[in-house]
Amino acid sequence: MDLRQLRYFLTIAEEGSVAAASRRLHIAQPALSRHMRALEEQIGTELFVRNTRGVTLTDAGVELIACATRAIDSVRDLTDRMASFKMGLSGELNLGIVSNYSWLPILRRVFDKLADIGPGLRVHLQPQMSVDQLENLRKGRLDVGILTWRPKLDPGFQGFPVYHDRWAVVVPRSIASRYAAERAHLLSEFRRESFVMFPRECSPSTFDAVSNLFHGASFAPTLKHTAADMSTMLGLVISGIGCAIVPESYRRHVSDDVTVFSLEDAGTEFDLELVWRRDSSNVLLTRFIEAARAALSENIEAKS
């Protein structure tokens, strides 16, 4: 049994005549009759009662109409879906993103553009450290990532900046009054405080960037504890254990139990980049990248 036979069967059922169906299908009547007998043999029962005026459906034939229609519609839907997928109009994209950055304005603009392209496009966001994103991009577990400190010398990746951030220091509310709230500070002003930090093995690039800040401020921080992610570090700061270096954009996430102070030291700025594998042939990824570039361009034009 194949789809062609089912289409032939449905046409005969609609016309009520093999002769009429053969004219509509542009197939010789004897050949059409052979196809129907072969279909009946495969099913194991007659589908038509044949008479001089044409054909009428048997009970099995009536039942097959519904089954054949569903089968043909399913195949048509499958064909349409695969065509949309091939053109990058449907499918799911796995997007890694540094924790607490899912609010980025570019994401909303990209999602809106993708919705205009095709309602079947979906993006699955996976919060991950930058180092984990790079590894998962290499292994094909992620299609694209929003991360920091892409290895610029690695020819396997390419990307472009999508957000500009800078480091700040977050302190417990209990000591915030020691520092003026109306201005940016030098990191060296906080040399008497204790700090919590990332362990280097969790995020070497982040650890090195923060360590360079302390080096530039000419002091080694008094480390109380380490935490494997920013959210846990903020929790330790809230509890009063110490201060921490965090992205300044985290102001939108912190509670009233802490205060975030801007830093004016050199080297506090960093970029988040949209990063993907250079050898990727994913059409949906291409759509996503094009939408991101367009969103960034529109944002630049709006600011100018």
* Residue 24, both tokens: 């509509």
Residue 302's pLDDT is 61
Give the gyration radius of the chain's Cα atoms: 32
Q: What percent of the chain has pLDDT over 90?
A: 54
**Residue type at 114?**
L
CA distance 235 to 263: 21
Residue 247's pLDDT is 94
Residue 277's pLDDT band, with cuts at 50, 70 and 90, is: very high
Return the bridge partners of 127, or none: 97
Quick check: 32 pLDDT over 70? yes
Over residues 166-192, the pLDDT tens digits come to 999 999 999 999 999 889 999 999 999
pTM over cut 0.95 = no
Over residues 215-257, the pLDDT tens digits come to 999 999 999 889 988 889 999 999 999 999 999 999 888 888 9
Listed in sequence order, the residues at least 6 apart from 153 whose beta carbon sits closer than 8 Å to its beta carbon are none
CA distance 303 to 194: 40
How many other CB atoms are there within 10 angstroms of residue 180's CB atom?
10
Listed in sequence order, the residues at least 6 apart from 43 whose beta carbon sits closer than 8 Å to its beta carbon are 1, 60, 64
How open is the CA angle 45-48-54, to the nearest 5 degrees? 160
Q: Write down how long the chain is.
A: 304
- 278 or 298: whose pLDDT is higher? 278
For residue 199, CA distances in Å to 1, 194, 207, 208, 276 come to: 63, 16, 7, 10, 26
Residue 122's pLDDT band, with cuts at 50, 70 and 90, is: confident
Q: Torsions phi, psi of 56, nearest 5?
A: -125, 155
Q: Torsions phi, psi of 52, nearest 5?
A: -70, -25
Quick check: 201 pLDDT over 90? no
- Structural domains in the chain, sorted by start: 3-86 (1.10.10.10), 95-155+277-303 (3.40.190.10), 163-270 (3.40.190.10)
CA distance 144 to 138: 10
Residue 80's pLDDT band, with cuts at 50, 70 and 90, is: low
Q: Are strands 157-172 and 269-277 parallel, antiparallel or unpaired?
A: antiparallel
Residue 258's pLDDT band, with cuts at 50, 70 and 90, is: very high
Least confident window among 21-35, 106-120, 197-211:
106-120
Crossing angle of helices 105-117 and 283-303, in 10° steps, is: 120
Most confident residue range from 77-81, 155-159, 279-283, 298-302: 155-159
Over residues 144-153, the pLDDT tens digits come to 999 999 988 8
